[in-house]
Chains A and B, each alone.
Chain A
Amino acid sequence: MAMIQVIAERCKSCQYCVKFCPKQVLAVGKKVNSKGYEYVEPVNQEACIACCMCGRICPDGAIEVYK
């Protein structure tokens, strides 16, 4: 059982995490944060394997990984 959490205010929608997630867990959502970025959201949470690729590549530390 693994889970990721995106801290919406930190996300700038660069989409590095979307590109590098091996299980396509993440996608750009439709909601915007206070800076106006359409932040990334987990859309396929069950597929997460907690490899932390998203967290490592995220420049802004917006992703927390739980296992």
Chain B
Amino acid sequence: MEKIYSRTKTIQEDKVSGFCPGCMHSTVVKLIGEVMEEMDVVEKTVMVTGIGCCGLHMDYIAYDTITAPHGRATAVATGMKRSSPDSLIFTYQGDGDFASIGLGESISAANRGENITVIFINNGIYGMTGGQLAPTTLLGMKASTAPKGRVAEEHGYPMHMCEILNQLTAPAYLVRTSCNTPQNVIKTKAAIKKAFQNQLDGKGFSMVEIVTSCPTNWGMDALTALDFIEEKMLPEFPLGVIRDR
């Protein structure tokens, strides 16, 4: 019998991820690793992580990584890519990092059309810090800083980063995917692969926004969180390619 599927070698063999049960951070990092192996770019890839749960990958993966100051991952990636153009540089950021504290850096990097790849994890809440309201939190969704749910008059509306960046001229590839079904996992992997290939081809700024769950801070078990993605998150954040050129 031949082994046809196993965990990517870009994750340390003896390690178990530190994420909660059902957290899709580890799904995405698994996919990134599979893409890197298929493209044979493991040796020249550097992951720039943001702050938050996305930083938990550091002692789990088996390739180069650097942690940027909070929100500044795209700025750090800009410097790294410009000083080492042959490397494959991607940032890995959550919604608090990319869409909140790092909004200025994120939009500026996209506006410059920096030749980097952004993997943006959108789970609609701050994970590591304890479930506070994120820019992407849905209306009516409870958070520790919005115990009665998000109210538009008080907290504003959920931010759609793909659509915001689509207003700019420079970005090359903007896509929104999810990891809530095996089919969407396969689509996410294809999107990541295309985003990496864009960078190798010098096309410029590519972003893959991935709608994921945070069962712990959403206050539900992993399977209920899957239904929540399908019923609540995806109508607000429709999947698909927003820009490809």
A and B: partners? yes
* Chain A residues proximal to chain B, CB less than 8 Å: 1, 3, 9-10, 12-16, 19-20, 35, 37, 50, 52-53, 55-67
13 A-B contacts (beta carbon < 8 Å): A3-B1, A12-B22, A35-B16, A57-B182, A57-B185, A59-B24, A59-B26, A60-B26, A61-B6, A61-B7, A61-B8, A65-B4, A66-B4
The answer to whether B2 touches A66, judged by C-beta atoms less than 8 angstroms apart, is: yes
CA distance A59 to B26 in the complex (A): 5
A14-B21 in contact given A3-B1, A56-B182, A59-B30 (Cβ < 8 Å): yes
CB distance from A66 to the nearest CB of B (A): 4
The answer to whether B182 touches A65, judged by C-beta atoms less than 8 angstroms apart, is: no
B129 at the binding interface (Cβ < 8 Å)? no
CA distance A20 to B185 in the complex (A): 12
For B1-31 the 0/1 string (1 means CB < 8 A from A) is 1111111100100001101111111110010
On chain B, the residues within 8 Å of A53 by CB distance are 182
Q: Which of A14, A53, A62, A66 has the most CB of B within 10 A?
A: A14
A65-B3 in contact given A13-B21, A16-B226, A59-B17 (Cβ < 8 Å): yes
Classify chain B: how many residues form its interface, as a range. Answer: 20 to 34
B181 at the binding interface (Cβ < 8 Å)? yes
CA distance A5 to B26 in the complex (A): 19
A12-B21 in contact given A20-B182, A53-B182, A64-B5 (Cβ < 8 Å): yes
Closest to A53 in B: B182
B241 at the binding interface (Cβ < 8 Å)? no
